[in-house]
Chains A and B, each alone.
Chain A
Amino acid sequence: MREKILTIIEKNSRLTVKDIASILGEDEAKVTAEIEALENEHIICGYHTLINWDKTNDERVDALIEVKVTPQRGLGFDSIAQRIYQYDEVDAVYLMSGSFDFTVLISGKTMKEVASFVSSKLSPMDSVLSTATHFVLKKYKDHGTVIEQPKVDERMKVSP
């Protein structure tokens, strides 16, 4: 039941417990308990909303920064990651395989703001060897959802 609950609310977190219980053919109380457990175990980490900021009047830039670092003796990458993810402007930090170590996703109001974060906060860190900043020009699909345009039902309204 766990995986099923997760895959359902991953797509739509606004469903009520009652809805989820009907979808799964399970008891409502059981579903409530399971979701609570998932929250407590920090498997469910939050309920976010997917927003296409490009359509709002809000100015916003997103960037993906490739970061190369020197891992620290005894601590590996974790302590450096921690120093990076504490910043509020950082949306995500991933440790990567391949030619660089971290992917840092960040959003700011302007390009300048992002640039200044990289030059004054990220790059000067002791273990950071180099950074490469890529700005996002346009988002087509995010979190499995095509965000450019809403899907329109083009089927005939009634058919046999």
Chain B
Amino acid sequence: MRNPLNSKITGIQPSGIRKFFDIVADMKDAISLGVGEPDFDTPWHIREEGIHSLERGRTFYTSNSGLKELRQEIAKYIKRNYDVDYNPLTEVMVTVGGSEAIDLAMRVMLDPEDEVLIPQPSYVSYVPCAIMAGGVPVPIELEEKDEFRLTPEKLEEKITEKTKLLVLPFPNNPTGAIMEKEDLEKLVSIIEEHDIYLITDEIYSELSYKGKSSSIIEFPGMRERTVYINGFSKAYAMTGWRLGYCCGPQLIMKQILKLHQFAIMCAPTTSQYAAVEALKNGDEDIAKMREAYNERRRYLVTRLRDMGMECFEPYGAFYVFPSVKNFGMSSEEFATKLLEEEKVAIVPGTAFGDCGEGFMRISYAYSIQDLKKALDGIERFVSRLKTK
């Protein structure tokens, strides 16, 4: 028999987080701080709107690019947050989660051999998506001394003749790093000079704890070379609804829509109706959840520092990224031993790129009570390491 598989696909490494997940899943009583989704339920008024749409029998396909009303609300949302205009009819498309948009944007923009700059540590799908799209992923290794922000020096260092795309994954999973306005500003002239296109993945944009988050699309000329990606999962605690969106110049969006049409048809209809309600009346929910995350963030950082774990102050998403370099162990070793000895699960930084070595991702999408219990375990573990 011939080999049924495509060698490009079989060559892709499975997600590093998967291996760890299997170990934790087998442990019944493990306390986990390893989750990458909100602990809140979707606000009731949003769920209610989804239920209502089902009751009304709205169970059909929507147009390929999504409900018109939803696209209009998305365009309004971006306008009021960043003062940037997208035409809801031709420049906004609703996707199945932000992750579909990442995949489509790469496929549409990459030709074979084109290089994609991917700052790391970052979300697990950028590299595989770049490979599947035929491109060549080129990691940019971010450093703790820069608070894991992308600096102009680091960007320039990796640019070659073949560089076509840059991914901007901020606020960042797993580091919690953000890019402030002045950080982004420094990149603009380099991007223009080298004629680089951008994918900005701003799925955590609402979870920013140092004032309103900034976007690259706010800078003159950048909107024209950017696919802006966001979604409902993190901001409105809607992960299971699988709903995201992307916006960009018509030239690019036309091709993205074409792919989406053939692969997906349209995003789930029920979710789209719920999302309209979220954008119209969900600002207060976001503010409430943001405040709760912020309380937990401060609690977590303080306690980690008190127990002697070094960590820079993360201002975004819901992760803290402490260093374990002082304990003379690799990230994976630390994670495995912590799980064995205290039954606390946190994710090794290496799951998000090689340069995550020496760091751990701790999620604070948990109640203070849960955090407290898990941190007590980490504290016992760390104090034993220190006395050794």
Expressed in whole angstroms, the minimum distance between the Cβ of B22 and any Cβ of chain A is 9
Whether A157 contacts B299 by the Cβ 8 Å rule is no
Expressed in whole angstroms, the minimum distance between the Cβ of B16 and any Cβ of chain A is 9
List A4-39 residues whose CB lies under 8 Å from chain B: 8, 12, 15, 19, 21-25
B108 part of interface (Cβ distance < 8 Å): no
A153 part of interface (Cβ distance < 8 Å): yes
**Contacts A155-B39, A158-B20, A160-B123 hold; do A22 and B25 have CB atoms under 8 A apart?**
no
Expressed in whole angstroms, the minimum distance between the Cβ of B245 and any Cβ of chain A is 20
Expressed in whole angstroms, the minimum distance between the Cβ of A115 and any Cβ of chain B is 37
How far apart are the CA atoms of A25 and B299 in the complex, in Å?
Answer: 7
Whether A12 contacts B369 by the Cβ 8 Å rule is yes
**Contacts A19-B368, A22-B303 hold; do A158 and B24 have CB atoms under 8 A apart?**
yes
**Contacts A12-B368, A12-B369, A22-B303 hold; do A160 and B298 have CB atoms under 8 A apart?**
no
B116-137: CB near A (< 8 Å → 1, else 0) gives: 0000000111000000000000
For residue B174, which residue of chain A has the nearest CB? Answer: A160
B1-33: CB near A (< 8 Å → 1, else 0) gives: 000000000000001010011001100001010
For residue A15, which residue of chain B has the nearest CB? Answer: B368
Interface size on A, residues (CB 8 A): 16
Whether A157 contacts B34 by the Cβ 8 Å rule is yes
Whether A158 contacts B368 by the Cβ 8 Å rule is no
Whether A158 contacts B298 by the Cβ 8 Å rule is no
A75 part of interface (Cβ distance < 8 Å): no
**Contacts A23-B299, A24-B295, A25-B298 hold; do A157 and B351 have CB atoms under 8 A apart?**
no
Instruction: Tell me which residues across on chain B come within 8 A of A22, comparing CB atoms.
Output: 298-299, 302-303
Prevailing SS type, chain A contact patch? loop
B372 part of interface (Cβ distance < 8 Å): yes
Whether A160 contacts B24 by the Cβ 8 Å rule is no
Whether A158 contacts B347 by the Cβ 8 Å rule is yes
**Contacts A12-B368, A19-B372 hold; do A157 and B298 have CB atoms under 8 A apart?**
no
A159 part of interface (Cβ distance < 8 Å): yes
How far apart are the CA atoms of A159 and B124 in the complex, in Å?
Answer: 10
How far apart are the CA atoms of A22 and B297 in the complex, in Å?
Answer: 9
Which residue of B34, B123, B303 contacts A158 across the interface (Cβ within 8 Å)?
Answer: B34
B282 part of interface (Cβ distance < 8 Å): no
How far apart are the CA atoms of A22 and B17 in the complex, in Å?
Answer: 30
How far apart are the CA atoms of A159 and B34 in the complex, in Å?
Answer: 7
Expressed in whole angstroms, the minimum distance between the Cβ of A9 and any Cβ of chain B is 11
Which residue of B36, B296, B303, B372 contacts A159 across the interface (Cβ within 8 Å)?
Answer: B36
Whether A158 contacts B299 by the Cβ 8 Å rule is no
B207 part of interface (Cβ distance < 8 Å): no
Whether B368 contacts A157 by the Cβ 8 Å rule is no
Expressed in whole angstroms, the minimum distance between the Cβ of A29 and any Cβ of chain B is 15
For residue A25, which residue of chain B has the nearest CB? Answer: B298
How far apart are the CA atoms of A21 and B306 in the complex, in Å?
Answer: 13
List A106-160 residues whose CB lies under 8 Å from chain B: 153, 155-160
Whether A155 contacts B368 by the Cβ 8 Å rule is no
For residue A155, which residue of chain B has the nearest CB? Answer: B35
Whether B20 contacts A23 by the Cβ 8 Å rule is no
B74-118: CB near A (< 8 Å → 1, else 0) gives: 000000000000000000000000000000000000000000000
B345 part of interface (Cβ distance < 8 Å): yes
B364-377: CB near A (< 8 Å → 1, else 0) gives: 00001100100000
Could you list which residues of chain B lie within 8 angstroms of chain A, going by C-beta atoms?
Answer: 15, 17, 20-21, 24-25, 30, 32, 34-37, 39, 123-125, 173, 295-296, 298-299, 302-303, 345, 347, 351, 368-369, 372
Could you list which residues of chain A lie within 8 angstroms of chain B, going by C-beta atoms?
Answer: 8, 12, 15, 19, 21-25, 153, 155-160
12 intermolecular pairs with C-beta atoms under 8 Å apart:
A19-B368, A19-B372, A22-B302, A23-B295, A23-B298, A24-B295, A153-B39, A157-B34, A157-B345, A159-B34, A160-B17, A160-B124
Sorted nearest first, the 7 A-B pairs with minimum C-beta distance are: A158-B34, A22-B302, A157-B32, A158-B21, A25-B298, A159-B36, A22-B299
